[in-house]
Amino acid sequence: MARRTRSASLENRTQRLKLAARKKPYTALIAPGIFLAYRRNAGPGTWSVKCNGWLKRFALADDHEDANSETLMSYWQALEHAKRLARAGEGNSEQPISVAEAIDAYEADLATRDGSKYNATLVRRHLGTLASKAVALLTERELRDWRAGLIKKGLKPSSADRIARSFKAALALAASNDKRITSVAAWKNGLKKLPDSEVARNVILTDETVNALVAGAYDESPDYGLLIDILAVTGARESQVLRLRVDDLQNRNPVAPRLMMPTSRKGRSRKVEYRPLPISPRLAKLLRQQAKGRAAHDRLIDRIPKLSGRFHPIAKRLGLGPEVTPYALRHSSIARQLLKGVPTRIVAAHHDTSVAMIERNYSRCIIGDPSEALTRATLLDFAASASSADVIPLERLAS
């Protein structure tokens, strides 16, 4: 059995508290090239690992409280964590990436893929003490507690899950770039979807309200109005609309113009396809004006910062609550088509989603007027009088 590395000055709290408080940490060699570092503070000290020229703090010391083996560690717990972090990738002298650095890398990756950097911004805004934590040392429990903290702060489970999905994407990117990170199960299990986050809270607006919101957006600015107009007409996501190019506008047929809408990059398949979505001649005319002077592969719609933030005052002026966001235009588009009797599969394809998702979240729209008319014709009328000649004995029916 390997001998445990002892340190008379660090292995118990009594000896540690006798040390002088200073910025330079006290160190103990715990393995070849690996040091456990302890910084004596006025309050509880901190544990760090020092290896190949880098120093990484990972926990508080149990100077005044009992250790919990995660955020508060004894000497022996810190020793094992330090070894694990330093040896996660032998021969790699780079400092392990922190959560904050992982979010920065994720933001840069989003910009490269023409995605919304707001996904990274939203995670960064809620990181708290996790920001300085090494990704390789994240645990399932602290990630689960972190998301629970979002809900305690007043976020809805659906919002907490949306932020967690972006966080998971950032951590997965970090793991793909650094093979020392082997704790993938920590965020897969710790950030699983919450049971009640799947409950649909879709805000569905009347046609009159949608028209009023679009008009209010044009009053805000022509560019903003055009973006909201497209979202309302097509029911597409903002990320899809912002990837439209000039040659995606097909208006050779003035009576039936359409947009070749790119699919989203959701799910495991990142392949982007294009689906024709019909638009009104009115919108096509506005888009032709927008495309003037632009090359065929130029962006058709310019990115507009703080899309939702600019939407709230418009909704408020119309007497609508804060739950009405630009995404309500997508919900309303899906519901409108379902209530008009458009087959569910076509609605799903039009909105770049699945039939299962439509049936799960919009079932009250599917079971509406069109389907009611079909099923009503099959109802039995027990009040109608039937002659005895029309009655067939069960024995004869069975034979």
164 and 284 inside one domain: no
Residue 182: the pLDDT is 76
Residue 145's pLDDT is what?
92
Q: Is residue 5 part of a domain?
A: no
Tell me, what's the pLDDT at 248?
94
Cβ burial 342-360 (10 Å sphere, 16+ → b, else e): eebeebbebbbbeeeebee
Q: With H, G, I as helix, E, B as strand and everything else as coil, classify residue 194.
A: coil
Q: How far, in whole angstroms, is CA 111 from its chain's centroid?
A: 16
Is there a domain that residue 262 lies in? yes
9 phi and psi, to 5 degrees? -90, -15
Q: Residues 253, 301: one domain?
A: yes
170/224 same-domain check? no
Residues 217 and 360 in one domain: yes
CATH code, domain carrying 125: 1.10.150
Q: Which residue reads 């330079």 in tokens?
A: 24
How many domains are there within the chain? 3
Pairing status of strand 258-262 against strand 26-31: unpaired
Residue 397 lies in a domain: no
> Domain range holding 292?
207-374
Find the length of the chain: 399
- Nearby residues of 311 by Cβ (< 8 Å), 6 or more positions away: 213, 217, 228, 324, 325, 326
Asked if residue 382 belongs to a domain, the reply is no
pTM beyond 0.85:
no
Q: What is the pLDDT of residue 392?
A: 55
Q: DSSP character for 128?
A: G
pLDDT at 1: 42
User: DSSP for 145-172?
Assistant: HHHHHHHHTT--HHHHHHHHHHHHHHHH
> Would you state the pLDDT for residue 200?
43
Query: Does residue 289 lie in a domain region?
Result: yes
Are 353 and 236 in a shared domain? yes
Residue 25 shares a structural domain with residue 67: yes
Are residues 222 and 365 part of one domain? yes
Q: Are residues 82 and 116 in the same domain?
A: no
Confidence at residue 210, expressed as pLDDT on a 0 to 100 scale: 95
The answer to whether position 57 is within a domain reads yes
Strand order in the sheet with 258-262: 249-250, 258-262, 274-278
Contact 207, 168 (CB under 8 A): no
Tell me, yes or no, whether 305 and 352 share the same domain.
yes
Low-confidence residues of the chain, pLDDT below 70? 1-4, 53, 88-95, 114, 196-201, 265-270, 366-377, 381, 383-399
Q: 58, 86, 114 — which closes off a domain?
A: 86
In a domain, 226, yes or no: yes
> What is the per-residue pLDDT across 297-312, written as a single tens digit (0 to 9) for each?
999 998 888 888 899 9
Taking the C-alpha atoms of residue 264 and residue 249, their distance in angstroms, rounded to an integer, is 18
- Which of 173, 44, 194, 155 minimizes the C-alpha distance to 103? 173
Looking at the structure, tell me whether residues 171 and 214 fall in a common domain.
no
Residue 388 lies in a domain: no
DSSP string, 45-75: -EEEEEETTEEEEEEEE-SSS---SSSEE-H
Question: Is there a single domain that holds both residue 229 and residue 350?
Answer: yes
Q: Are residues 167 and 104 in the same domain?
A: yes
